[in-house]
């Protein structure tokens, strides 16, 4: 018996894989390496290379490895770019999830933890987001994640699928020094790449209605995120009740200026960020209420902002 982690060679998925192993739960990885990195998968973890769009491959992986549950992390994760690539985004995130659910139903696999996103909320009407905050995704990516949640809900009605969706906010840090965020669009790697190349990092807008004028966002450590995936899987295995969705956020939030200050200290590189014009559509502040996840999924902030920066910087430098 084992759990399948789709996208298990990616930044978040690989941390989930390692946390499952620490918990003594057998795990298998399925990843097409379109953005994942093969070396992120431990040598002793079964690795199936391929796409979740390939139903036969997915079904064979479920059968061959006696899979009883799935953590579905695979997908196209670039919200901004999804506006230019909507069809690709829907194919990967909506069709891919539907194919996975078909394969699971065919093999009798009846539990799933779904990687959702804060993007389902779009620009919320309040600056502290609960699971009941109205959903108004502002990109094809956010829309695709919300549709993914609907697919799970409807499949549960049809087949009794046991499921929960974890809505990530801004995931940063590293739980192992050989695992790093390789995204070309996320704030931490963008700052690190600039520093490693001798460029000055920049802030997009300093005229927001926040204490220091820069956007406030909710940053969480990837290792803390992984712990809650395991907790969710355990609850599903035990038949314990779970919510349809959980926010994984701090309840506080930090500004981009505070991130830059922590980058100064955490990297040991002194710099003054450039200030560029704000980006259209960026809300002043988005922070998540993680009360439900704290109650059910062992969710808590185990790392300070400085620890997030230092762990991510160490992993990125090791990969350089």
For the cut 70, the answer to whether the pLDDT of residue 175 exceeds it is yes
16 vs 219: CA distance, rounded Å: 18
Q: What percent of the chain has pLDDT over 90?
A: 90
For 288-300, write each residue's pLDDT tens digit.
999 999 999 999 9
- Active-site annotation holds for 168: no
Q: What is the mean pLDDT of residues 47-75?
A: 98
Residue 53 has pLDDT above 70, yes or no: yes
- N-terminal to C-terminal alpha carbon distance within the chain: 37
In the block, which residue shows the tokens 């314990």? 240
70 contacts 100 by C-beta, under 8 angstroms: yes
Domains for the chain: give ranges and CATH numbers. 2-171+219-248 (3.40.50.720), 173-218+250-319 (3.90.25.10)
Q: What is the pLDDT of residues 103-132, one digit of tens each?
A: 999 999 999 999 999 999 988 888 799 999
Quick check: 81 and 185 in contact, CB under 8 A?
Answer: yes
Mean pLDDT of 46-63: 98
Assess whether pLDDT exceeds 70 at residue 281. Answer: no
Among 76, 90, 121, 141, the one annotated catalytic: 141
90/96 Cα distance (integer angstroms): 8
Q: Which residues contact 243 (CB under 8 A, 6 or more apart)?
A: 131, 164, 292, 296
The two structure tokens encoding residue 312? 């991510």
CA 95 to chain centre: 19
Query: What pLDDT, in 10s, does the model give residues 124-174?
Result: 888 799 999 999 998 999 999 999 999 999 999 999 999 999 999 999 999
pLDDT of residue 283: 77
Q: Each residue of 12-47: pLDDT tens digit?
A: 999 999 999 999 999 999 999 999 999 999 999 999
Q: What is the pLDDT of residue 313?
A: 97
Instruction: Please check the confidence at residue 280 and state whether its pLDDT lies above 80.
Output: no
What mean pLDDT value characterizes the chain? 95
Rounded CA-CA distance 277/254 in Å is 20
- Kindly state the tokens that stand for 126: 């309040």
List beta partners, residue 162.
Answer: 111
pLDDT at 184 over 90: no
**Stretch 60-88: mean pLDDT, rounded?**
95
């Amino acid at each position: 018996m084992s759990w399948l982690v789709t996208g298990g060679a990616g930044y978040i998925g690989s941390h989930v894989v390692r946390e499952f192993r620490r918990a003594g739960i057998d795990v298998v990885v399925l990843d097409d390496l379109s953005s994942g990195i093969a070396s992120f998968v431990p040598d002793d973890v079964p690795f199936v290379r391929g796409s979740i769009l390939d139903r036969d491959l997915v079904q064979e992986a479920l059968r061959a490895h006696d899979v009883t549950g799935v953590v579905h992390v695979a997908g196209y994760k670039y919200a901004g770019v999804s506006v230019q690539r909507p069809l690709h985004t829907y194919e990967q995130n909506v069709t891919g999830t539907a194919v996975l659910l078909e394969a699971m139903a065919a093999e009798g696999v009846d539990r799933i933890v779904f990687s959702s996103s804060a993007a389902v909320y779009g620009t919320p009407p309040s600056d502290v987001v609960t699971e009941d905050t109205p959903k108004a995704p502002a990109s094809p990516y956010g829309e695709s994640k919300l549709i993914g949640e609907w697919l799970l809900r409807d499949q549960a009605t049809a087949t009794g699928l046991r499921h929960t969706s974890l809505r990530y906010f801004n995931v940063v840090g590293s739980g192992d020094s050989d695992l790093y965020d390789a995204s070309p669009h996320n704030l931490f790697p963008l700052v690190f790449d600039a520093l490693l190349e001798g460029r000055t990092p920049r802030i997009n807008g300093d005229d927001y209605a926040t204490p220091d004028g820069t956007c406030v966002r909710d940053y969480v450590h990837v290792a803390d995120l992984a712990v809650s995936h395991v907790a969710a899987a355990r609850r599903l295995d035990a038949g314990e009740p779970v919510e349809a969705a959980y926010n994984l956020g701090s309840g506080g939030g930090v500004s981009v200026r505070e991130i830059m200050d922590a980058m100064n200290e955490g990297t040991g590189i002194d710099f003054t960020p450039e200030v560029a014009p704000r980006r259209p559509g960026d809300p002043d502040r988005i922070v998540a209420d993680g009360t439900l996840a704290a109650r059910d999924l062992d969710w808590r902030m185990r790392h300070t902002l400085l620890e997030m920066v230092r762990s991510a910087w160490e992993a990125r430098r090791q990969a350089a």
